[in-house]
Amino acid sequence: MKGLKVAALALALALPSAPTMAGEAVNLILNWTPTADHSPFYYAKAQGWYEKAGIDLTIEVGKGSGVSSLKVGSGGSPFGIADLATMLVARSKGADVVALMSIYANTGQTFYWLKSYGVNGPKDFPGHKIGNPPGDASRVMWPAFAKAAGIAPDAVNFVNVGPTAKIAALKSHTVDIISDFYNEHDLKVIEFGADLGYINWKDIGLNPYGNSLIVNGAYLQRNPKLVEDFVKVSQKAYAACVADVAPCLKALLDNASGLDKENQERQWERIKFLMTDEFTTTRALGWIEPDRMKKDYELVQTYLGMEKPFDVGTAFSTKMLDTGIKMDASKVKK
């Protein structure tokens, strides 16, 4: 009997072990190259949180919210990150896409200028040159900003300036004003100091949702449990990074080359501000408020156009969010 047991044990050790059940292969396409605002996804992956939820996550570098919206909307990627206004336009063109969680509850759109150029606020914009790329959202949405600021839409001249050349263009006086995202704010503070002036669009009453987590609608219908798990893990990761960003940025820097750690730390401080509003602090981190979405839809319809109008209530869902996880406003510095 003892010999049989030994033989059975030897046979068991000789046989290959049963493979571990592989997680569902899931792709997340970013809105752009990885930076601090994407670090929670890398952190959660490094911690094995997605794997524990049965998700084998691949993070794909993006080329703009338009690209990520269309790829998710066509089923080429189940998840993505996209600016919500851009996503709404894509949906009007037939993209099957739904927003699940806001990352930027506040718009990152910001105008910057130098006070020494005779600009002290939007009322001084007329007659000046604004530099940004041709397809820049702030240029497309300029009529909305001009109306809110009480100036004529044709009172300024736009100059084509690439994303990486904005600071140089402002410094050389090629342009008088530039548009940029608020998470890059500190680079301008370092460059220009007390001469720098700026206004975030929120400060003038325009506050559309920014970057958000989106999902393919058909994928959501087929995999509601997996989608819910993905959202909750991501939400948990953002909350963890708000509490302590150091391990999150380490995970990011371990997976993305060419990033400056100190700049990413500064970016994260601004990102926390963009994540915070009355709903993300009281309802749930990542909350998308219906009334705000309705206003965003109307804003986009007016200034960007909707190819095929739709009920904006079908374009987002907060059902997947864990209402026990809220944005910690005490961690935010403006």
Q: What's the pLDDT score for residue 4?
A: 44
195 shares its domain with 271: no
| pLDDT block averages, 10 residues each, the chain of length 334 | 45 39 88 94 98 98 90 98 92 97 95 96 96 83 90 95 92 96 93 97 92 97 98 98 98 95 96 96 98 95 90 97 97 82
159 shares its domain with 240: no
Residue 233's identity, in one-letter code, is V
158 shares its domain with 247: no
232 shares its domain with 144: no
* Helix H or strand E segment including 157: strand 157-160
274 shares its domain with 233: yes
> Could you identify the residue written with the tokens 């819910």?
228
238 shares its domain with 118: no
- Last-in-domain residue among 204, 220, 236: 204
Six token digits for residue 136: 């820049």
Q: What's the pLDDT score for residue 22?
A: 65
Q: Is residue 28 part of a domain?
A: yes
Q: Is residue 41 part of a domain?
A: yes
Q: What's the pLDDT score for residue 303?
A: 84
Domains of the chain: total = 2
- Last-in-domain residue among 204, 223, 255: 204
Round to whole Å and give the CA distance between 23 and 51.
Answer: 6
161 shares its domain with 284: no
Q: What's the pLDDT score for residue 17?
A: 37
Q: Is residue 10 part of a domain?
A: no
Which burial class, exposed, middle or buried, applies to 3 when counting CB atoms under 10 A from its CB (0-12, 13-18, 19+)?
A: exposed
96 shares its domain with 233: yes
| Three-state secondary structure call for residue 101 | strand
User: Domain limits at 87?
Assistant: 24-106+208-331
Q: Which of 297, 269, 285, 294 is nearest to 326 (CA)?
A: 285
- Last-in-domain residue among 204, 233, 266: 204
Q: Is residue 3 part of a domain?
A: no
Q: Is residue 251 part of a domain?
A: yes
197 shares its domain with 130: yes
102 shares its domain with 119: no
pTM, to two decimals:
0.86
84 shares its domain with 118: no
Q: Is residue 7 part of a domain?
A: no
Round to whole Å and give the CA distance between 289 and 280.
Answer: 9
Q: What's the pLDDT score for residue 137?
A: 77
170 shares its domain with 200: yes
Q: Is residue 6 part of a domain?
A: no
Phi, psi of 175 (to 5 degrees): -130, 165
Q: What share of the chain is helix, strand, coil (3-state, %, to 5)?
A: 50, 15, 35
Q: Is residue 240 part of a domain?
A: yes
Round to whole Å and give the CA distance between 79 and 223.
Answer: 12
Round to whole Å and give the CA distance between 141 and 128.
Answer: 18
CATH number of the domain residue 242 falls in: 3.40.190.10
